[in-house]
Structure 1
Amino acid sequence: MSGPRTGDDLGTPTGRGGPVGGFGEPALDQSPSVPSRRGAADPVKVLMHRHRELCERAVDPLEIAAGLEAHGVTDRTAARFRHRDVFSLAEEMYARISRDAETPPRHEAAAVPRLGLGRVAFGLLPGALCAAAVAGLRLTEGRTRLAVAALGVVAVGLGLRAVLRRGPLSAEERTLPGPHTPGTRMWTCWLLGYALLGDGLLGAAVGGGPDGLPDGTAAGPWPLTTAPVLALALACGPAAWTAHLFAVGARRKVTASRGLEEFAASVRPLLLGAFGLFLCALAALLAVCGAILDEPAGYAPALALGALLLLARLLTTHGFTHAPAVALGTAAAAEVAAQAGVFTARLPGCGALATPVDTLVTAWGPGGVPALVCGAAALALLLHATRTLTRASAHARAQPQP
């Protein structure tokens, strides 16, 4: 095997299908207006120098294409380098980059890790812990119930942390991570806490209460809504599975696509299909949990919250952390404002502050507030995801996880 070759050694570079032009097209005729690719006037060589680190660390041309797209290079830009699309341009850059013969590219790193038994177990852990906590609340009373509730909250929190740190819902092993945005976990905890306590507090507050603290039951002065929370915890398993399904399918689409626009058009139905599968699984879990616990399933608020959390996690695992933080924070702030408006309206001259919430609760019940705010935030994230998660740069290779 010969040693590594540079761009000048290769002579006339090749695209996907033949010399210079991709997809089997013959090389375009040289003209005075198009600079030659050889020497200092070579535009591809200039582009390679500009993105040298990206080219040297890439394990395949697809990663170069993703990196170029992340830097704003489009198919139209690639046409100036006499390539039909960014993928064809990336193949030439990958072929021309100078490499160390002793460290060959590791093509196996480009594959999405398999969803093994360990990852499945992590996905089921929060649901199992939450089911045990709910059973403990049903079987105990008084101070023992309070201790069980506190222990259950800690256990479920640790289970959620485990599933978010390992497996398809983890964002810590990405090769091209996005910027860290603080507050996302805090807003997520608030939204889940509101799903457990918020509806009961709002319903009691509208009626002039509450007259006491939560006692861990659905019939107390401050009732708990355990069925939706249990369903959401159990839905961590389907969320991990759909996230893995989307990652694998998108990687296959990257391999099969011939351009960025074709890739986006093929991944968009995949994203919507995975999103729909998760909502169907969550709806089934809500029905089962509501029937077993003999409580209202709360379909609208739970589905809205589940959709919001799934989309936020999908974006986070693919390196987009700002939009999820904004959406989760906005939804949490809206829920805080709704509760604060009802209690502030009890002050003299502030009765009008509770009018919007009173109207919404009268029409849809206490669950109308989280259904509206989480549904609006989820819709905004869905629109954002259809633009960002359909880019090749969102699916750069992930390192295998233990």
Structure 2
Amino acid sequence: MPAPTPAPTRTTGTRPAPTDPLPASTPSRRTGADPVKALMHRHRNLCERAVDPLDIAAGLEAHGITDRTASRFLHRDVFSLAEEMYARVPRDAESRPGAPALNTPRARADWILLTLLPGALCAATVTALHLTHGQSRVIAAAAGTLAVALAVRAALARGPLAGKDRAHPTTPRISWLVAYALLGDGLLQAAATGGPDALPTGTAEGPWPLTTAPVLALALSCAPAAWCAHLFDVRARRKLSASRALEEFATSAKPLLLGTFALYLCALAALLALTTTTLNEPLAYPQTLTLGALLLLSRLLTTHGFTHAPALVLTAAGSAEATALATLFAARLPGCAFLATPVQTLIDTWGPAAIPTIACGAGALTLLLHAMRTVTRASAHAKADDTC
């Protein structure tokens, strides 16, 4: 007799607890479990475009991440953190075969010719001033000034002297400083002796003498300035690609900046000696070298994205020169003779060149200290486009 088939059990209203894990479609969020991954998500574009760990390190430095911040991600410094971020970014091996770590700027014929143009036009203008008289000299001076101004603007728009941020235009400030180098010392000396009695005649022998040799030397120095800036960029990017840490690059970049600065001053001094000898004018080394140093440092900072400090320092230097002139004329008012005492003391002690030398020298020293702290950062070079 066959065994009876067991009756099926009736299911109750309760179901056994599932033992399978949660589906993959509903992952649990773990905030803070992988802080490096969260940092990579915040800087995803930087990580995807980077071709070298220093590229990421420079970008992190630009965003304010320091070695102390990197310690919160269990890394000893920013470069170690950047190496992990660079290693964890997925890359297509075929898309970057041997990609260069950094783009090295190359010298191009267009900016080379543009930097030579201001000196050539200024030399032509000075020649025209010495060969013309009366109304013709006025026309030559006006046309030459306009041509040189346009040439300088074109030279500063391309090549290694070109600024990428125009939020703080410095052209009016530079124009004032150069105009003072041409007319300021003569006007200051004339004002200190009760003049001027007539308008400038375009020569160094008039009642309001012009000092054309410093301006011609500054115009000719546009080419050395561009080459020095180009040399600094090339050497800095080579050192950046060879460095293994941000501090190592900063240590090697500071002597490079000082060497570039000294090289330009030597070139400017040689050009000034040439122009003063040719034009038979007295040497004006202090005011010309300090002005040239101020202009070069302001352009170096501007080309690397630091525009605020140059604008402030150039404004302060120009304001100091304008104030010195204004106090001499204001002292002629009744009861205001005391206003001229500081400026008159400087003129009597060191001559009219003391005013621009002090103003531009203090500004150049301020920008040099600022450049030693900012332009020597890796973030000032790693993301610079190859615009030279």
Fold in common (TM above 0.5): yes
1:86 Cα offset (Å): 2.0
1:60 paired residue number: 52
1:346 paired residue number: 332
Judged with a 3 Å threshold, the aligned counterparts in structure 2 of structure 1 residues 167 and 106 are, in CA distance, closer, same or farther, namely farther
CA displacement 1:140-198 (0-9 Å, x = unmatched): 111111111011111111111111111110123xxxxx5x4334111111101111111
- Shifted more, 65-74 versus 270-279: the winner is 65-74
1:389 paired residue number: 375
- Note if contact 2:54-2:79 (Cα within 8 Å) is conserved in structure 1: yes
**Structure with greater Cα Rg:** 2
1:316 paired residue number: 302
2:113 paired residue number: 121
CA displacement 1:87-127 (0-9 Å, x = unmatched): 23223222323457896599458312212333322221111
Whichever residue aligns with residue 309 of structure 1, its letter is L
- Note if contact 1:66-1:392 (Cα within 8 Å) is conserved in structure 2: yes
1:131-150 matches, cutoff 5 A: 131-150=123-142
1:10 paired residue number: none
Judged with a 3 Å threshold, the aligned counterparts in structure 2 of structure 1 residues 113 and 167 are, in CA distance, closer, same or farther, namely same
Determine helix, strand or coil for the equivalent of 1:168.
Answer: helix
- Shifted more, 77-86 versus 231-240: the winner is 77-86
- Shifted more, 313-322 versus 262-271: the winner is 262-271
- Note if contact 1:74-1:260 (Cα within 8 Å) is conserved in structure 2: no
Whichever residue aligns with residue 118 of structure 2, its letter is P
Alpha-carbon separation, structure 2, partners of 1:229 and 1:69? 40
Whichever residue aligns with residue 349 of structure 2, its letter is A
1:400 Cα offset (Å): 2.8
- Note if contact 2:161-2:226 (Cα within 8 Å) is conserved in structure 1: yes
Alpha-carbon separation, structure 2, partners of 1:68 and 1:60? 13
- 1:255 and 2:252 aligned: no
- 1:227 and 2:213 aligned: yes
Determine helix, strand or coil for the equivalent of 1:110.
Answer: coil
Count how many residue pairs are aligned between Structure 1 and Structure 2: 359
Whichever residue aligns with residue 157 of structure 1, its letter is A
1:367 Cα offset (Å): 1.2
Alpha-carbon separation, structure 1, partners of 2:33 and 2:125? 69
1:229 Cα offset (Å): 0.3
Determine helix, strand or coil for the equivalent of 2:235.
Answer: helix
1:78 paired residue number: 70
1:295 paired residue number: 281
Judged with a 3 Å threshold, the aligned counterparts in structure 2 of structure 1 residues 139 and 163 are, in CA distance, closer, same or farther, namely same
2:351 paired residue number: 365
Query: Share of identical aligned residues, percent?
Result: 65
Alpha-carbon separation, structure 2, partners of 1:280 and 1:339? 30
1:192-207 matches, cutoff 5 A: 192-207=178-193
1:363 Cα offset (Å): 1.4
- Shifted more, 130-139 versus 257-266: the winner is 257-266
CA displacement 1:14-51 (0-9 Å, x = unmatched): xxxxxxxxxxxxxxxxxxxxxxxx99611210111121
Unaligned runs of 5+ residues in structure 1 are: 1-37, 173-177
Judged with a 3 Å threshold, the aligned counterparts in structure 2 of structure 1 residues 292 and 47 are, in CA distance, closer, same or farther, namely same
- 1:170 and 2:162 aligned: yes
1:69 paired residue among 47, 61, 66: 61
Whichever residue aligns with residue 241 of structure 2, its letter is T
- Note if contact 1:59-1:106 (Cα within 8 Å) is conserved in structure 2: no
Unaligned runs of 5+ residues in structure 2 are: 1-29
CA displacement 1:282-325 (0-9 Å, x = unmatched): 11111111000000121000001000000000000000000000
- Note if contact 1:112-1:398 (Cα within 8 Å) is conserved in structure 2: no
Judged with a 3 Å threshold, the aligned counterparts in structure 2 of structure 1 residues 379 and 127 are, in CA distance, closer, same or farther, namely same
Judged with a 3 Å threshold, the aligned counterparts in structure 2 of structure 1 residues 159 and 43 are, in CA distance, closer, same or farther, namely same
- 1:243 and 2:229 aligned: yes
Alpha-carbon separation, structure 1, partners of 2:273 and 2:102? 39
Alpha-carbon separation, structure 2, partners of 1:319 and 1:353? 40
TM-score by structure 1 length? 0.85
- 1:154 and 2:140 aligned: no
Alpha-carbon separation, structure 2, partners of 1:148 and 1:58? 53
